[in-house]
Amino acid sequence: MASISYDFFRSVTAKLTYSGQTLLLDPMLSEKGALPSFAGIAPNPTIDLPAEVASILEGVDAVLVSHMHADHFDAAAAEQLAKDAPIFTPNNQSPTDLSDPLNTGKTFLARLTEMGFTNVTTMETPDCEFEGISMAQEFGQHGIGKLGQMMGEVNGIILRAQDQPTIYWTSDTILDEAGEVEAILKEYKPDIVIAHTGGAVIEAIAPDPLMMNEAQALQFFQLAKQNNAKAKIICVHMQALDHCFTTRESLKAAMQDLPEAIRQDIYMPTEGETITLLI
């Protein structure tokens, strides 16, 4: 039986201890209100970190960056992470200028390299590995229509290691109509899922969610459990950004009609909480 530790800080920033390694996920290290508003409501992030940045960075073996939006890797992270830190990111790119979304600009690798990081690896090949942990990039869809196009490309990430549970980190994806996310659940049958369920919307551009909201999350939970009845699901990307309208409270309320066998395996950590799972 393997023990997995997930130290949650804010939004999606967390430390995942897996197969003997501590992985920092999507560091957004800015102080409260240091970033622009996304929905015209309040500067971001809307809450403080629950710990000092030095404490968050302590003991980190590698950094995983799902994509280069500021709520996943910000200027504070670029400034405070060691430039030789091992960083892993999908082989992908997204617009650097939202006024020109068809100009995809630079890859995540190129942007991190320009920031001065010297040890960046992409996940495009099946043999991407760090200390026995394999990392594979999979499908993700950051919304639909014009806004989805503006958000650019994203990826889900699969983590595997010998004698360890399979982890599926969804990143910022909706539950797509083509069934690609469902296909990932069917192929990998993940034991642990880190799901972004913030229901992000930028209403000034379009009413459609950029990631799973309550209704999509309920469908996703059921699909995950259909493919692995023992799957544990950690829900994050809530209550720290002004465009995320799904909260822990609203998601818990929406879950009331789900079977207890599903509800008991869904976790919604609060800032500063550590979840330990034995799989």
Q: How many domains does the chain have?
A: 1
pLDDT of residue 93: 85
Asked if residue 21 lies in contact with residue 63, where contact means CB atoms within 8 angstroms, the answer is: no
DSSP class of 221 = H
- Dist. CA 45–CA 38, nearest whole Å: 10
pLDDT of residue 203: 82
In this structure, the chain runs to a length of: 279
In the three-class reduction of DSSP (H, G, I as helix; E, B as strand; rest coil), residue 107 is classed as strand
pLDDT of residue 96: 54
pLDDT of residue 101: 47
pLDDT of residue 207: 86
In the three-class reduction of DSSP (H, G, I as helix; E, B as strand; rest coil), residue 57 is classed as helix
- Dist. CA 263–CA 269, nearest whole Å: 14
Closest C-alpha among 24, 29, 27 to residue 5: 24
- For residue 218, count other CB atoms closer than 10 A to its CB: 19
Q: Cα angle vertex 146, ends 145, 152, to 5°?
A: 95
Q: Cα angle vertex 258, ends 182, 140, to 5°?
A: 25
pLDDT of residue 1: 80
Token couple for 226: 């259909």
State which residues form the domain around 199: 3-278
Note down pLDDT in tens along the chain; length 279 residues: 899 999 999 999 999 999 999 999 999 999 999 999 999 999 999 999 999 999 999 999 999 999 999 999 999 999 999 999 999 999 998 765 555 545 556 899 999 999 999 999 999 877 899 999 999 999 999 888 877 777 878 999 999 999 999 999 999 999 998 999 999 999 999 999 999 999 999 888 778 889 999 999 999 999 999 999 999 999 999 999 999 999 999 999 999 999 999 999 999 999 999 999 998
CATH number, domain at 140? 3.60.15.10
Asked if residue 32 lies in contact with residue 48, where contact means CB atoms within 8 angstroms, the answer is: yes
In the three-class reduction of DSSP (H, G, I as helix; E, B as strand; rest coil), residue 180 is classed as helix
Buried b (16+ CB within 10 A) or exposed e, 171-188: bbbbbbeeeebbebbeeb
